[in-house]
């Protein structure tokens, strides 16, 4: 799958500042169709609605640690939903511990980034997902 910067992207993070930083990095990479959500619990209905409307999100960028629904729980829901299970999913986390990395890999994450990170790292991880 080639990297199409016009694809529909959702950025999910409970910290508004982090959402804005990630969105800005994506825009600087050329992405233009970006929506934001403040938690997995907020994002899930948005993802379902987008899918039902025939214009699904083609890329999900999510924080791991969020209060209502974690990024891991959201990833598990996405992977368990037949029509969405192949959606590229990038996890952003402060969880660098090996056991946590294993959890998201087993759950089917496309790639992950440990905070803090630079725009080059984000670009590199996204290019690997869509290579």
Q: What is the CATH number of the domain that holds 45?
A: 3.40.50.2300
Q: Which domain holds residue 96?
A: 8-129
- For residue 93, name the pLDDT band (cuts at 50, 70, 90): confident
Query: In this predicted structure, what is the pLDDT of residue 102?
Result: 87
> Mean pLDDT over residues 63-81, rounded?
96
Give a yes or no: residue 104 inside a domain: yes
Query: In this predicted structure, what is the pLDDT of residue 2?
Result: 58
Residues in the chain: 131
Query: In this predicted structure, what is the pLDDT of residue 95?
Result: 73
Give a yes or no: residue 2 inside a domain: no
Give a yes or no: residue 118 inside a domain: yes
> Mean pLDDT over residues 55-76, rounded?
96
Query: In this predicted structure, what is the pLDDT of residue 99?
Result: 80
Nearest CA to 63 among 24, 116, 99? 116
How far apart CA 93 and CA 22 sit, in angstroms, is: 13
Number of domains in the chain: 1
């Amino acid at each position: 799958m080639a990297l199409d910067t016009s694809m529909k992207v959702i950025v999910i993070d409970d910290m508004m500042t982090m959402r804005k930083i990630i969105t800005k990095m994506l825009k600087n990479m050329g992405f233009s169709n970006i929506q934001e959500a403040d938690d997995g619990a907020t994002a899930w209905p948005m993802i379902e609605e987008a899918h039902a409307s025939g214009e699904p999100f083609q890329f999900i960028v999510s924080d791991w640690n969020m209060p209502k629904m974690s990024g891991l729980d959201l990833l598990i829901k996405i992977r368990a939903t037949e029509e969405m299970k192949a959606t590229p999913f990038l996890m952003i986390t402060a969880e660098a511990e090996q056991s946590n990395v294993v959890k998201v890999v087993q759950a089917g994450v496309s790639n992950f980034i440990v905070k803090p990170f630079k725009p080059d790292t984000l670009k590199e991880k996204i290019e690997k997902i869509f290579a």
